Amino acid sequence: MVALAGADLELREGEFLTLLGPSGSGKTTLLMIVAGLIQPEGGEVWIDGRLATYAPPFKRDVGMVFQNYALFPHLSVGENIAFPLRMRRVPEATIQQEVRRILEVVRLPDVGSRLPRALSGGQQQRIALARCMVYKPSIILMDEPLGALDKKLRDHMQLEIKQLHAELRITVLYVTHDQEEAMIMSDRICLMRDGHIEQIGTPDELYFQPRTRFAAEFLGESNVLVCEVVGVEASRVVVTTAGVRLRAPQDARLRDARRVALMVRPERLAIQDAPTAGPGPEPHNRLEGHLRQVIRVSGITKYYVGLPSGQTVVASMLTGDAKTVATPGARVGLTWPPDAGILLPETATSER
């Protein structure tokens, strides 16, 4: 079984790059190869301009932050942070100065004498990060470091780490399976699947310009309609699904395709209680179906509409702007501008 294949990745200095994907996609394997904890059967690893493929972990100039913090329970916070400096035989006066400095950086200046167990989970994670940053490695590797925290604390720590990265411009390679976490924290996201890189780009690029059906469905909520291509009108492709004609922007990759997937994000759909209502200033795409459910999730209201084909699509809007357009079971219309859709290969096959 191949855990990782064909992964070609460049991490830029000062960048926060997240390896995102489902379990078994190869993201942790890639991180461990960079760390030197797994030896690849082929390929090369370069760190800070030096070939590091077969260098031992302690010679790679990388730091690592784990989910379980990995702090020494019998040492004080200050001694935990000082440990990597002592291993590098840094003078004691410099060690004390650097420990005080890094505690200020992580906004915990008064905890140096405490034991780790006296700190909260979020504070321990910041100390783990401080211990990693204090010796200024070329790259900091983080393997799902927030996975053990509750949601409120995890949300807080996402912003803490993002702010530290912005202030210090440290280079971070981060692993998570949480798409929201990746969207919030990353400069770029490397989406992985089945041991391959599916797509690399900024959070906006992956969300608004997915290159494959897998990318569209994994990152954010999406509606995907399998369609037949029937023609071209001006700069748009005309497709049909269940006998309904729809239009979408052209994609050069799919010029000869006869079947495609049309993806529309829920927030781009407008829902109407009158199936014969006008489409707006420009002819919009339109589907009709029966309202199945209306669900409010925090500040978002979601409308689940069953189409005649049996497929359910979802439209969403801010709860403050949402109005109950109909009761479940009523017939409704869904409309969206043609340019709001994205054409993708029909299957979820990776581009490789």
pLDDT digit string (tens) for 58-86?
888 898 888 777 899 999 999 999 999 99
The class that CATH gives domain 214-345 is mainly beta
Whole-angstrom distance, CA of residue 225 vs CA of residue 346: 9
Confidence of residue 293 (pLDDT cuts 50, 70, 90): very high
At 97-133, the pLDDT tens digits run: 999 999 998 889 999 999 999 998 888 988 998 999 8
Confidence of residue 321 (pLDDT cuts 50, 70, 90): low
Query: What's the average model confidence in pLDDT over 13-27?
Result: 93
What beta strand segments (E) does 202-308 contain?
Answer: 223-233, 236-241, 244-249, 259-264, 270-272, 285-297, 300-306
List residues bridging with 51 in a β-sheet. Answer: 46
Task: Give 281: exposed, middle or buried? Use CB within 10 Å, 0-12, 13-18, 19+.
Answer: exposed
Whole-angstrom distance, CA of residue 115 vs CA of residue 124: 10
Confidence of residue 141 (pLDDT cuts 50, 70, 90): very high
Quote the pLDDT of residue 312. Answer: 95
DSSP 8-state assignment for residue 58: G
The class that CATH gives domain 16-211 is alpha beta
The rounded percent of the chain whose pLDDT value lies above 90 is 56
DSSP 8-state assignment for residue 77: H
- Please say whether the dihedral angle defined by the alpha carbons of residues 84, 89, 95 and 98, taken in this order, is positive or negative: negative
Sole residue written with tokens 């702010």: 163
Residues 167, 169, 173, 177, Cα dihedral to 10°: 30
Quote the pLDDT of residue 279. Answer: 47
| CATH 2.40.50.100 domain span(s) along the chain | 214-345
Quote the pLDDT of residue 256. Answer: 83
Indicate the average pLDDT of the chain.
88
Task: Give 312: exposed, middle or buried? Use CB within 10 Å, 0-12, 13-18, 19+.
Answer: middle
pLDDT over 60 at 195, yes or no: yes
Bridge-based pairing of strands 172-176 and 139-143 is parallel
pLDDT over 80 at 47, yes or no: yes
Confidence of residue 280 (pLDDT cuts 50, 70, 90): very low
Quote the pLDDT of residue 175. Answer: 95
Element (H, E) at 154: helix 151-168
Return the minimum-mean-pLDDT range out of 74-88, 135-149, 265-279, 288-302.
Answer: 265-279
SS3 345: strand
* Beta-carbon count within 10 A of 320 CB: 7
Return the minimum-mean-pLDDT range out of 15-29, 174-188, 280-294, 335-349.
Answer: 280-294
| CATH 3.40.50.300 domain span(s) along the chain | 16-211
Query: What's the average model confidence in pLDDT over 127-155?
Result: 88
Whole-angstrom distance, CA of residue 231 vs CA of residue 182: 38
Whole-angstrom distance, CA of residue 56 vs CA of residue 53: 9
Quote the pLDDT of residue 348. Answer: 61
CB 222 within 8 A of CB 250: no
Torsions phi, psi for 305 (to 5 deg): -120, 125
- On the CB side of 6, how many CA atoms lie within 13 Å of its CA? 12
Task: Give 46: exposed, middle or buried? Use CB within 10 Å, 0-12, 13-18, 19+.
Answer: exposed
pLDDT over 90 at 190, yes or no: yes
Confidence of residue 281 (pLDDT cuts 50, 70, 90): very low
Query: What's the average model confidence in pLDDT over 129-146?
Result: 90
CA 327 to chain centre: 35
pLDDT over 90 at 340, yes or no: yes
